[in-house]
């Protein structure tokens, strides 16, 4: 029987490469050639959004709200994965090590810009391992106290803290979180000693604050405003330099007794570094569209949050500024991992 005619070596190698690529899903075209086609086909399967906190806080609300909009727009399932712990390091590291294909997104919390100043060694590089997508929203932190604590103003809180140093406990969502550094800056500027009690997220922290296990806390307005309205917590001040319509009648910390104090809290979206630029552009366009939709803006405003929706370069520049700003605060306050 005559032998079958064999392919030339070069053609055999080329065919083998195509077969391997088809079996593994590996790309065989140069990245530049893949870009437009990849973006046009994206998304072709479910997307997950990693949140480095448990359910119950605004980072989680943001992920679920935007995720629902993406799912409606693209017809692909969008799931939220809560990965709390380690002062957001667990969730952030999981996002950094995910495949750079656009199918893993990351809700970028305030702590993202702070952790590099607190921890001597991180399991990821906040600059090199992430691709910023958009600055999504901002809100003041609200200084709140347990309803039974015998203070009704910042001045009275400072007087009590100075009379009984170290006896008042404050809650946070972990080292490097906005509520942690809001209070550390407050303590530093006011010259008081208040003891830190870290939690894995706002939900459990606020539960203990209402229950009286801790006495005071700075927290994002949407996490506590309903409890203030219900009389379970007392609002003493907002962290921003100007009062907010989201907490009418509540003075700023600066007005109430700590001149020069201000903290803005923000939330963003990022992806693992290496996601093709056309896909990042598509994500930015659709997420910003979701944030600017009237129903989302209205929903966020009702919780005390301003929807933003920036370009990716604007968010990258903002992150750089935040890292520089909070590195100095961390150093001056002597903040260390707990």
Indicate if 153 and 239 belong to the same structural domain. Answer: yes
Q: What is the pLDDT of residue 200?
A: 87
> Among the three residues 228, 263, 298, which one is the final residue of a domain in this structure?
263
CB 287, CB 269: distance < 8 Å: yes
Identify whether 37 is part of a domain: no
Nearest partner of 81 among 103, 113, 110, 114, judged by Cα: 103
Indicate if 130 and 150 belong to the same structural domain. Answer: no
Indicate if 235 and 96 belong to the same structural domain. Answer: no
Indicate if 170 and 313 belong to the same structural domain. Answer: no
Q: What is the pLDDT of residue 334?
A: 80
Distance, in Å, from the CA atom of 198 to the CA atom of 260, rounded to the nearest integer, reads 26
> Among the three residues 263, 295, 316, which one is the final residue of a domain in this structure?
263
Q: What is the pLDDT of residue 151?
A: 97
Q: What is the pLDDT of residue 181?
A: 92
CATH number at residue 124: 3.40.190.150
Q: Helices marked H in 191-271 — which ranges?
A: 202-211, 221-229, 253-256
User: H/E/C letters for each residue in 133-183?
Assistant: EEEEEEEEEEEEEECCCCCCCHHHHHHHHHHCCCCCEEEECCCCCHHHHHH
Per-residue pLDDT of the chain (338 residues; tens, 9 = 90+): 334 433 333 333 343 333 333 343 433 334 433 445 577 899 999 999 999 999 988 999 999 999 999 999 999 999 999 999 988 999 999 999 999 999 999 999 999 999 999 998 999 999 999 999 999 999 999 999 999 999 999 999 999 999 999 999 999 988 888 999 999 999 999 999 999 999 988 999 999 999 999 999 999 999 999 999 999 999 999 999 999 998 999 999 999 999 999 998 999 999 999 999 999 999 999 999 999 999 999 999 998 899 999 999 999 999 999 999 889 888 887 887 76
Indicate if 144 and 124 belong to the same structural domain. Answer: no
Range of the domain at 186: 139-263
Distance, in Å, from the CA atom of 235 to the CA atom of 228, rounded to the nearest integer, reads 6
CA angle 200, 139, 325 (to 5 degrees): 80
CB 112, CB 177: distance < 8 Å: no
Identify whether 234 is part of a domain: yes
Distance, in Å, from the CA atom of 327 to the CA atom of 330, rounded to the nearest integer, reads 5
Identify whether 53 is part of a domain: yes
Identify whether 244 is part of a domain: yes
Which pTM does this prediction carry?
0.81
Indicate if 278 and 131 belong to the same structural domain. Answer: yes
Nearest partner of 254 among 193, 192, 189, judged by Cα: 189
Indicate if 271 and 319 belong to the same structural domain. Answer: yes
Q: 246-285 b/e with 16+ CB inside 10 Å = b? A: bbeebbbbbbbbbeebbbebbbbbbbbeebbebbbebbbe
CATH number at residue 180: 3.40.190.10
> Among the three residues 216, 234, 263, which one is the final residue of a domain in this structure?
263
The structural domain count of the chain equals: 2
Indicate if 193 and 252 belong to the same structural domain. Answer: yes
CB 290, CB 126: distance < 8 Å: no
Indicate if 281 and 132 belong to the same structural domain. Answer: yes
- Compute how many other C-beta atoms are within 10 angstroms of the C-beta atom of residue 14: 13
Indicate if 184 and 326 belong to the same structural domain. Answer: no
Q: What is the pLDDT of residue 39?
A: 78
Q: What is the pLDDT of residue 331?
A: 86
Indicate if 277 and 227 belong to the same structural domain. Answer: no
Identify whether 21 is part of a domain: no
Identify whether 1 is part of a domain: no
Identify whether 6 is part of a domain: no
Distance, in Å, from the CA atom of 290 to the CA atom of 272, rounded to the nearest integer, reads 21
Residue with tokens 């407050």: 186
Identify whether 10 is part of a domain: no
CB 173, CB 53: distance < 8 Å: yes
Distance, in Å, from the CA atom of 175 to the CA atom of 333, rounded to the nearest integer, reads 13
CB 284, CB 311: distance < 8 Å: yes
Indicate if 169 and 243 belong to the same structural domain. Answer: yes
């Amino acid at each position: 029987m005559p032998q079958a005619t064999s392919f030339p070596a070069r053609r055999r190698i080329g065919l083998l490469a195509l077969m391997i690529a088809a079996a593994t899903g590996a790309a065989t075209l140069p990245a530049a050639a893949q870009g437009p086609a990849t973006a046009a086909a994206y998304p072709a399967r479910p997307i997950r959004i990693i949140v480095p906190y448990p359910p119950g806080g605004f980072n989680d609300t943001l992920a679920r709200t935007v995720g629902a909009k993406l799912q409606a727009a693209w017809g692909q399932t969008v799931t939220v994965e809560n990965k709390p712990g380690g002062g957001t390091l667990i969730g952030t590291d999981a996002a950094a090590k995910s495949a750079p294909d656009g199918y893993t997104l990351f809700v970028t919390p305030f702590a993202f810009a702070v952790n590099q100043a607190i921890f001597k060694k991180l399991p990821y590089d906040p600059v090199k391992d992430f691709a910023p997508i958009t600055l999504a929203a901002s809100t003041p932190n609200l200084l709140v106290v347990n309803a039974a604590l015998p203070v009704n103003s910042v001045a009275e809180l400072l007087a009590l803290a100075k009379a009984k140093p170290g006896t008042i406990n404050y809650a946070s969502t972990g080292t490097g979180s906005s509520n942690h550094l809001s209070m550390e800056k407050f303590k530093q500027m006011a010259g008081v000693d208040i003891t830190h009690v870290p939690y894995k997220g706002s939900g459990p922290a606020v539960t203990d604050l209402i229950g009286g296990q801790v006495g005071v806390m700075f927290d994002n307005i949407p996490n506590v405003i309903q409890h203030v309205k219900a009389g379970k917590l007392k609002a003493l001040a907002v962290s921003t330099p100007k009062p907010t319509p989201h907490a009418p009648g509540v003075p700023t910390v600066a007005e109430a007794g700590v001149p020069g104090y201000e903290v803005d809290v923000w939330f963003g979206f990022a992806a693992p570094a290496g996601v093709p630029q056309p896909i990042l552009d598509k994500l930015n366009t659709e997420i910003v569209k979701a944030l600017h939709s009237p129903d989302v803006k209205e929903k966020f405003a009702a919780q005390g949050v301003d929807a933003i929706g920036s370009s990716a370069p604007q968010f990258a520049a903002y992150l750089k500024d935040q890292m520089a700003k909070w590195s100095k605060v961390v150093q001056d306050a002597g903040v260390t991992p707990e």
